[in-house]
Amino acid sequence: MPLVGKAALAATPPVKAGRLKQSVSRWCYEKIPLDDLCAFAAKIGLQGIDLLQPADYDVPRRHGLRCTMGYAAENMTIANGLNRVENHAAIEKAFRIGIPQAARSSVPNVIAFSGNRRGLSDERGAANTIAGLNRVKKIAEDNDVTICVELLNSKVNHPDYMADHTAWGARVMEAVNSPRVKLLYDIYHMQIMEGDLLDTVRRNLKWIGHFHTGGVPGRHELNDTQEVNWHGVAAGIADMGFTGYFAHEFVPTGDPLPALAQAVRICTV
């Protein structure tokens, strides 16, 4: 039977602090009450919970944690995002409410998506995304909250998604050129699309504000069945001086909390 609540806390030794600020994505543990997940996360050395809705922003604070990445624009989805000019007004309206709300709860990052191509060229989609981000970047700058555009794979999980290569995302970031607009570099997705992880991160680190993990293939545990050397990747990113959050976003196939503790130990460098 999976360990949860007080049983999981009692059975899991603390993890020593490392150079990366690790956190965990809420949706991967949605069957575990958020307070229980936060208590466990605090014990194993995590610093926050990723991908919370505004109603839950303040729950981690009861456990000495923070929400490390929030949702602040419900009308922006993976498929329907910044690469369509007709979406910009609604996204701006949502961010004018959502970003200050995140700031009040000390949420440092909010997520954003390019949207699917649906026939758009990469060039036109980039131009539209740049225009959309330029429209909202001052909201983020004024509130000290970073908008993070997620890089996702279009090969396995999200067919037709536009921001599916680091080069495309970096081109957009360079044009927007704001300290509060960055990429969410999802290691799982980018291993599928392009590999060459550490060299790619090194070349583009100034445009990256956040990381996600997930075992390849399958987006499962970070263990020896996976093709990514997670300890090596974590050490490489730490060696580059990255100061943002490194959030675990994998779906455990077995006992979920021990799997999370194992991932934290592997990535503690």
pLDDT digits (tens, 9 = 90+) for 153-176: 999 999 999 999 999 999 999 999
> For 90-130, what is each residue's pLDDT tens digit?
999 999 999 999 999 999 999 999 999 999 999 999 999 99
* CA atoms of 158 and 214, how far apart (whole Å): 15
Beta bridge partners of 146: 109
For the chain, the farthest-separated pair of C-alpha atoms sits apart, in whole angstroms, at 54
Is 0.85 surpassed by the pTM of this model? yes
What is the pLDDT at residue 47? 98
Residue 45 confidence (pLDDT) above 60: yes
CATH 3.20.20.150 for domain 73-257? yes
What residues have CB less than 8 Å from 255, skipping those under 6 apart?
A: 2, 3
Residue 178 confidence (pLDDT) above 60: yes
What is the pLDDT at residue 162? 98
**Under the phi-then-psi rule, with left for phi > 0, alpha for psi from -120 to 50, and beta for the rest, what region is 180?**
alpha
| Among 87, 84, 85, 65, residue whose Cα is nearest residue 74 | 87
- Residue 15: which pLDDT band, with cuts at 50, 70 and 90? low
- Give the burial class of 105: count Cβ atoms within 10 A of its Cβ; 0-12 exposed, 13-18 middle, 19 or more buried: middle
Residue 2 confidence (pLDDT) above 60: no
> For 181-213, what is each residue's pLDDT tens digit?
999 999 999 999 999 999 999 999 999 999 999
Domain boundaries, the chain: 73-257
What is the pLDDT at residue 1? 46
**Mean pLDDT of the residues in the chain:** 95
Looking at residues 14-28, what average pLDDT do you find?
Answer: 89
> For 234-257, what is each residue's pLDDT tens digit?
999 999 999 999 999 999 999 999
